[in-house]
Amino acid sequence: MNNFTYQCPTKVIFGKNSIKEIKNEIPKNAKVLAIFGGGSVKTNGVYEQVTQALEGFFVREFWGVEPNPRLETCQKALNLIKEHEIDFLLSVGGGSVLDATKFIAAAAKFDGEIWDIVGLRAKFSDAMPLGCVMTLPATGSEMNCASVISNGALKIKKSFKNPLVYPRFSIIDPQTTFSLPLRQLRNGIVDTFVHVLEQYATQDLSTDVQDGFCLSVLKAVIQNAKALESEPQNYDVRANLCWAATCALNGWASLGCVQDWSSHAIGHELSAAYGIDHGLSLAVVTTRLLRYNIKFKSTKLAKMGRELFALNGDEMSVAMACTHKIEELFASTGIATSLAELGLDKFEVAEQISNRFKERNLVAGEHANIDYKAVRQILLEC
């Protein structure tokens, strides 16, 4: 096991009717900017609950953060912050709204070209405080300090991480997810699953506690994704999916481990180039990437295949069979798992995404072997 340091300052407030707790978490004299997406919160009662909880506070609203949030949108919020001397940000929505809020928090205090914040080209040493109401189980953004932002002009999607943008608090009321369209539930299930894989399916460093934790999160996702079909109104199913999504990317899974993140690296390029949903991009790429790198991943995938899918046989055949089980699992949610299902030509996509890696000298993966040539080969299998 590698050495590690872990600290997460986010206070998680989880459960039914927890949105009202906002009022106890934001300083009374704060000037709050509430940040929203495209309007889902107005149809599912979340906006009403947030507004009630914020009664008596100075509040301005910023609307219109889109899925795969853009730099250009975030820039508009900065004007409001200046105009009203805002000193606290509240994100209300899914991972995109929260990622945008984290970026805005950093950009508002940043002296320089704000696009430099992503990709960690520039370190920043200050950020506005922020809190969150998370309405979509997927990204884990509610308990981590990462954010992914797209630059519309450059057509580039990139992430950054900085402890300064941990939410001060995150409210997760699983009831808010009852209004999610099937498409977003599927995206979230795949995203959660792949977050665990990016951290678990790497070299074996005798991380017994972390491995057990990862497999238990994956098991919960498998069971509750299945239960969702027969019991879409079951609160506990929603609660388990929400907590699995948070736990999949709050740092616990990767303590002392080596991480990969190459499915995400390719997925972000697909989203930037073709506007594909984040979860969907992972459903297409992940299992092909696992097979491409199977020689590095066979020990962990075999362990997973035996424990989660009751597979038998030698390490390599169980590892391979495990990747097919993962693909079946994704397909069973109804999500597309190939480029053809998305109406995309794999030859054209492989060329374009491979060129994007080549032009920007991008290399990804735990063994830094996912370069433009590997990307082409992987996408030709998609």
List contacts with ligand NZQ (CB under 6 A): 37-41, 44, 67-68, 93-97, 99, 135-136, 138-141, 144, 146-148, 176-177, 179-180, 184, 187-188, 191, 249, 264, 278
CB of 241 to Zn ion, least distance (A): 15
Q: What is the 3-state secondary structure (H, E, C) of the chain?
A: CCCCCCCCCCEEEECCCCHHHHHHHCCCCCEEEEEECCCHHHHCCHHHHHHHHCCCCEEEEECCCCCCCEHHHHHHHHHHHHHHCCCEEEEEECHHHHHHHHHHHHHCCCCCCHHHHHHHCCCCCCCCCEEEEECCCCCCHHHCCEEEEEECCCCEEEEEECHHHCCCEEEECHHHHHHCCHHHHHHHHHHHHHHHHHHHCCCCCCCHHHHHHHHHHHHHHHHHHHHHHHCCCCHHHHHHHHHHHHHHCCCHHHCCCCCCCHHHHHHHHHHHHHCCCHHHHHHHHHHHHHHHCHHHHHHHHHHHHHHHHCCCCCHHHHHHHHHHHHHHHHHHCCCCCCCHHHCCCHHHHHHHHHHHHHHCCCCECCCCCECHHHHHHHHHCC
CB of 129 to ligand NZQ, least distance (A): 17
CB of 372 to Zn ion, least distance (A): 22
Choose the one of Zn ion, ligand NZQ, none that binds residue 210, judging by a C-beta under 5 to 8 angstroms depending on kind: none
Choose the one of ligand NZQ, Zn ion, none that binds residue 177, judging by a C-beta under 5 to 8 angstroms depending on kind: ligand NZQ
Which is closer to Zn ion, CB of 95 or CB of 167?
95
Which is closer to ligand NZQ, CB of 249 or CB of 339?
249
| Residue 191 is a binding residue for Zn ion (CB under 5 A) | yes
Which is closer to ligand NZQ, CB of 204 or CB of 236?
236
Choose the one of Zn ion, ligand NZQ, none that binds residue 54, judging by a C-beta under 5 to 8 angstroms depending on kind: none
CB of 361 to ligand NZQ, least distance (A): 21
CB of 194 to ligand NZQ, least distance (A): 8
CB of 205 to ligand NZQ, least distance (A): 23
- Please count the residues of this chain forming the interface with Zn ion, following the rule CB under 5 A: 1
Q: Cα dihedral sign for 363, 365, 367, 371?
A: negative
Select from 44-52, 61-69, 152-160, 190-198 the region that touches Zn ion (CB under 5 A).
190-198
Which is closer to Zn ion, CB of 77 or CB of 145?
145
CB of 224 to ligand NZQ, least distance (A): 17
Choose the one of Zn ion, ligand NZQ, none that binds residue 93, judging by a C-beta under 5 to 8 angstroms depending on kind: ligand NZQ
Which is closer to Zn ion, CB of 191 or CB of 327?
191
| Residue 366 is a binding residue for Zn ion (CB under 5 A) | no
Q: Which residues bind Zn ion (CB under 5 A)?
A: 191
